[in-house]
Amino acid sequence: MGAPRDPGRKPPLTVHHLNQLLLVCSLVLLVAVAAVRISSRSGLPSLLVYLGIGVLMGSDGIAHIHFDNAEMTQVIGYAALVVILSEGGLGTKWKEIKPALPSASALATVGVAVSVGVTAASAHYLVGLEWRQALIIGAVVSSTDAAAVFSVLRKIPLPSRVTGTLEAESGFNDAPVVILVVAFSQAGPIEHWYVLLGEILLELAIGAAIGLAVGWLGAWGLRHVALPASGLYPIAVMAIAVTAYAAGALAHGSGFLGVYLASVVLGNAKLPHWPATRGFAEGLGWIAQIGMFVLLGLLVTPHELGDDIWPAVVIGLALTVVARPLSVVTCLLPFRVPWAEQALMSWAGLRGAVPVIVATIPMVNGVDGSRRIFNIVFVLVVVYTLVQGPTLPWLARRLGLGRGDEATDLGIESAPLERLRGHLLSVSIPPGSKMHGVEVNELRLPAGAAVTLVVRDGTSFVPMPSTMLRRGDELLVVATDPVRDATERRLRAVGKGGKLAGWLGTGNGG
Q: Where are the alpha helices (DSSP H) in 300-349?
A: 309-318, 324-332, 339-347
Question: 20-29, 30-39, 49-58, 193-202: which has the minimum mean pLDDT?
Answer: 30-39
- Could you give the CA distance from residue 280 to residue 231 in angstroms, rounded to a whole number? 9
Query: 455-476 burial, b for 16+ CB within 10 Å, e for fewer?
Result: ebeeeeeebeeebebeeebebb
Q: CATH classification of 411-500, choosing from 3.30.70.1450, 3.40.50.150, 3.40.50.2300, 3.10.20.30?
A: 3.30.70.1450
pLDDT tens column, 49-97: 788 888 888 877 777 788 888 888 889 988 998 998 898 889 888 887 8
| DSSP conformational letter for 456 | E
**Contacts (Cβ under 8 Å, ≥6 apart) of 191:** 183, 199
Q: Report pTM.
A: 0.75
**Contacts (Cβ under 8 Å, ≥6 apart) of 161:** 96, 99, 100, 337, 341
Confidence of residue 11 (pLDDT cuts 50, 70, 90): low
Q: What is the pLDDT of residue 178?
A: 87
- Break the chain into its structural domains and give their ranges: 70-398, 411-500
pLDDT tens column, 330-376: 999 898 889 998 998 999 887 877 888 888 899 988 888 889 999 99
Could you tell me which residues are beta bridge partners of residue 474?
428, 455
Section 19-25 average pLDDT: 86
| DSSP conformational letter for 273 | T
By CB atoms closer than 10 A (0-12, 13-18, 19+), residue 389 is buried
CATH architecture of the domain with residue range 70-398: Up-down Bundle (1.20)
Instruction: Count other Cβ atoms within 10 Å, centred on residue 108.
Output: 25
